[in-house]
Structure formats: C-alpha cells, structure tokens
Amino acid sequence: MKEKQKSRSIVVAVTALNAIDSPGPGIAVIRCLREDPEFDVKIIGLSYESLEPGIYMHDLVDKTYQIPFPSSGTDMLLTRIREINEIEKINVLIPNFDAELYNFIRIEDRLSEMGIRTFLPSAEAFDARDKVNLAKFAEKHHFTIPPYRVIFQLNELKQIAENLGFPLVVKGKYYDAFICNSIFEAEKAFFKLQAKWGVPVIIQKFIPGTELNVAVLGDGRGNALSIVPMRKLYITDKGKAWAGITIENSQLTETAVRFVKATKWKGGCELEIMMSADNKPYLLEVNPRFPAWIYLTAAAGQNQPAALAKLAMGYELPEMKEYQAGKLFIRYSWDMIVDINEFQKISGTGEL
C-alpha cells in the first residue's frame, strides 16, 4: 500500500539552532514541524554563529544561511532575508530568540510583501511583558509577581538588596539569572550580566517554591489555543530545565488564559511561574517565544509549533483542550562529528 501523501509542501525558516547546554528553541521547533502529518516541510536554518549545532544536523535542517546579529538593525536583516528568499521561497518564518524578535516584528509587513508569513506578537504586547515593564503590567491586570527593581548602575544595588533582603535573583534583560545570597555574589552577577547583555539588570526577590513553566499559543484575538504546563524535574547550574514533566494545574491554565486575553498575544510564549509553599502562583517572567522544551507539547498531544505555522498560513484552528499529563522530557548530550570543510563553508560563504 502506498503511503498517504502529505497535503502540502512548505518551506519554513527557523532561528535559534544553538542546541547547547543553554539551548535555543530552534531544534525543538523543527522536530515539531517535521512530525506534523499535514506538511512536507523543507527547513531553512538561520544562524548567527558558525558553531551552532543545528547547522550540521542535516536530518533536521535542509540548508542553513547566516544572518546578521540583531544589533545590526532591520535594514541589514531585511536585505539578507530578501537574498535568502530569492533562492528558497520561504513560506513561514519562525524566530525564536528574545533579542531578535523586536527586529522581526518591525519588518513583519515587509516580509509579508515578499510572501513570507510570520505569526508574531504586536510591539505593544511584546513591550508590555518585558522584564522592565512587568510590574506595571502585573498591577494593571492583577497578576502576582515578586518584588523587584530595575537598575542601570552598580551603586544602586546595595540599597535595593537591603530593602528586598537576601536571597535575591539577579537577571539579565534578555537571558540568564543568578540566585545570590550576599552582596558580593549580587555584584559579581551584575558585572557578568552587564558584560553579556548590557543594562538594565533586574533585581528580584527570591520566592521559594516549585518552578513551573507553561507553553502557550495565542491567536492574536485574545484566545489561548494551546496551554501545556510543565514542572521542572532537573535544573542545570544555568537555571535551565534538563528534565520536566507535563502536569495538570488549573491555576496555571487560568494564569495563561488571563495573560493571553490581557495582551491579545499572537504566537508562542512561555510563562515562568513559581508556585509558593502556600500554593500561590508568582509570575516571574514571560518569554515572548517558544521555550527550548517545546517538543514536549507535541509529545503530549498539542503540537504548538506546527499549529503556529498553520495560523501563519491563514488556517483557522480550534482550541486544543486535551493533552497527556505525565509525559517527561530528559535532555542529553551527544557528540556530533562534523567535517572541517562544512565549518569552513558556513564560516566563509554564510551558507551550508
């Protein structure tokens, strides 16, 4: 018997191929796209560094092109995407890094003119959930968050630390966070984050409890089409989930529904929540893209990246209500062997 043909061939460009110890979501997003039975997908990787492992995962990524760093601005990005699109005829583009999203949001209409579809939050929603603006957002929409302050200079830290008390969480404006038990540790974390991500740096009161995450897909009209909560089972020294399990929790679901309704969130996002000992959910932050563990949503029965691609292409999708609780993911390391010629080609020509 012949295998049933897939209904449509599409070309999807995906960023965040850095499948390292602090992984980006790109490879997990690609795995989800390849598992959807409705699409025959060609994957175009968009990389920033020549050593992003996804570049060399030829069973997952069909071809990779380097693109300019977000700091280069929208003009250079648009020029490069136009060059790539002339060759590949991209149908859908899914960016997965916080730092690049603002640029892609700004050029969304111009990408659409090229025939490249995206499904991104509005600039207003993107800014509202920013770590710097989270207190204002939480107050307006009645979310509970830990007390925090935003600082630009080291000399602000000591007084804030005295007011909030230790332990503190010192966070970068895009990524990374350190739990600090002394002013020495907090100052060290400030310097690390300032050097890596710039200012401001966020100083947040540490709330003891259980770390929970929620992967969410919003339709841009205030409806959450998919909500999959996960509890971290193993956390690395960088604060990344190395193992986790899907759970059922009405408080997490309600929080996600309220967030999407308040922002009319369009696309994928991740809510980071600390459930305190008295069973109170504290919203720690909102990541404006799929998390690195997003493949777990597909394994549990709600393939969020595939659904996003369909929404970008104009499909009308119903709310996904059922998923399987008790599904675990366990991340692992794997040595991939690559020929030096491939590394030289991507480094020299910007494509592989």
pLDDT digits (tens, 9 = 90+) for 82-115: 999 999 999 999 999 999 999 999 999 999 999 9
Q: Return the minimum-mean-pLDDT range out of 51-65, 171-185, 277-291.
A: 171-185
Residue 270's contacts (CB-CB under 8 Å, 6 or more residues apart) are 213, 214, 215, 216, 286, 287, 289, 290, 291
List, for residues 231-269, the tens digit of each pLDDT value.
999 988 777 889 999 999 999 999 999 999 999 999 999
Query: What is the reported pLDDT for 256?
Result: 97
H helices within 107-179, ranges in order?
108-113, 123-128, 134-141, 157-164
**Domains detected in the chain:** 8-118+335-349 (3.40.50.20), 125-129+208-330 (3.30.470.20), 147-205 (3.30.1490.20)
pTM of the model: 0.92
Burial class (CB in 10 A: 0-12, 13-18, 19+), 166: middle
| pLDDT greater at residue 346 or residue 4 | 346
Question: What's the first-to-final CA gap in the chain, in angstroms?
Answer: 36
The DSSP secondary-structure symbol of 351 reads: B
Q: What is d(CA 279, CA 338) in angstroms, rounded to the nearest whole number?
A: 48
pLDDT at 223 exceeding the cut of 80:
yes
Question: Are 232 and 214 a contacting pair, CB within 8 Å?
Answer: no
* Nearest alpha-carbon partner for 56 in 93, 96, 87, 27: 27
The DSSP secondary-structure symbol of 166 reads: S
Say how many CA atoms lie within 13 Å of 41 toward its Cβ: 26
